[in-house]
Structure 1
Amino acid sequence: MLPHAKDVESVGEAMQLAEVQGRSLWADARTRFFRNKAAVFGLILLVCVAIFAIFGGFFTQYERDVVDFSLMGANAYKGVPSFETGHYFGTDASGRDLYARIVQGTAISIMVGVVGATVAVIVGTLYGATAGYFGGRVDGIMMRTVDVLMSIPFMFVLILMLVIFGRSMFMLFLGIGLISWLDMARIARGQTLTIKNKEFVEVAHAIGVHPLKIILRHIVPNLLGIVAVYATLLVPQLIIFESFISFLGLGVQEPNTSLGALLSEGASNMFNGTIWQLQFPLIAFVFTIFAFFFVGDGLRDALDPKDR
């Protein structure tokens, strides 16, 4: 006996429903992410930028700190981009290959953003989860401390640190790390206030599990979604922040460089007939920032439970 058409449709709907219910949170988020064309474009662009920063140095004929004295000063306009000379992006005001320096600048800018975001996620998540879990007076003291720190003009503090202790990569990482974890702490604390009232946390507390273990094994893993989104959106903000510091001349120092330092140098020479010194670093900067923002927005949409 052949099955009725309605029965076939019911079976098909039931199978689709079972398939949806059987997907995990991360599998569902991955599906939603790859349906977002802007996020996929951002991911592809981000991979291309990362490949350029890691392997781009193998395709240059010049070292980033080798100076061509015939293209310095008043003769800088002669260092135009050319594949014949091997200066794909031209040369800078000091006669150095701009392509090689953009490769290094992109790598350092991404490293500053990723390291700063990693520090912010680790410190901010643990701090905020601890404050939210214990609550009461502990929460009040910890979060008022965050409020006080957020009221301090950290740009002035960072500049002061770099002037007093020296302009090094370590001090730059340390200064950016002091700023970036505060917002993450407030986000983690707000999420923890909701999670700590869940049944699995109350059961763990009732059977005598140590509070530190509850925070690390039950609360922090449930914060990974919002943490991943915030970290992805924080990276471009830190890259912009580092670029601003380097634009002022207080960031990465010679012979190293960053996109902010290259933009500063290009802007100071753009009226000397050497527009490429600003054009190519700006393109690399915009591509990097937009790639991270597109991926971050895609993750936020994919992991937002209100859209599911």
Structure 2
Amino acid sequence: MEMTLKVDRVVDAQSKLGEGVLWDARRQVVWFVDIKRHLLWHFDPVSGSNAAAQAPGQIGWAIPAEGGKLLCGLQDGLHLFDPATQSFEFLTKVPGEPAGNRLNDACTDPWGRVWFGSMDDSEAQGSGRFYVFDAGEIRPAGPSGIAITNGPAVNAQGDRIYFTDTTSQKIMVADLTSEGVGAARLFADTGALFPGAYPDGPVVDAEDHVWSGLYLGGRVARFSPDGELVASVPIPARDVTKMAFGGADMSTAYVTSALKNLEAADMEHYPLAGGLYAFDAPVKGFAQARAKLG
């Protein structure tokens, strides 16, 4: 079940809270964020170059959008990022979001809709919920009353969407169509499998299996379409947040991690923590659709 693969740290990002990793198929680069340091990173795996842009607040995710810019989720709402000018432009607030909340994770579906979650920035109150950004409008869609949301993640066919309730150690699944989303049901109770760890960002591979980072778990875990744990890959970080597939053939796994809760003694065990990691995945992923802005 546990796979011993060669995992390399490809960016020494020293992320307090690395998240939102994804592959930009058009630019052939990896994007990821450091939420607490307000940074949007990019990494070119061919040249090895990397750099970070300063966001105007806590940034949870950045997704390539039509027109060449990136749609980003920040604490105060949605922004557009222009890679050419390294500048952010405010787009819209998320209606009804409490002032103490922030946006945390996101994905697109095959129709270019953007699914994202909010959460209590103090990670205590069940004030978070999921939304969809569709045709320029934001509306609630999916579970609510969650302290720490992660995901969503949509499969390649676009008929399933996964929502993570990190605090409750549960991954949920719902049916998805071009018309909308169905009721969420339990997919995997990760607390029964990894009692001391918490499911973080999910992603779906080309074989319809779900991968999840495990915060406090030091690994990513792979689940079959029926929610059975089938594999895990140790990562040289304790607090593993999210995985994405990338590379020219979509067979490289990229993984983010966090430093914010590590003490000096923890760093002795995880000296590479806070980085962006890569390994040759045993299965391929698929490229996400670009976000439609209207």
Q: TM-score range by the shorter chain?
A: under 0.3
**Comparing both structures, which one devotes a greater share of its residues to helix?**
1
Q: Normalising by structure 1, report the TM-score.
A: 0.21
**Comparing both structures, which one devotes a greater share of its residues to strand?**
2
Please identify the structure whose Cα radius of gyration is greater: 1
Larger RCO of the pair (alpha carbons < 8 Å, separation 6+): 1
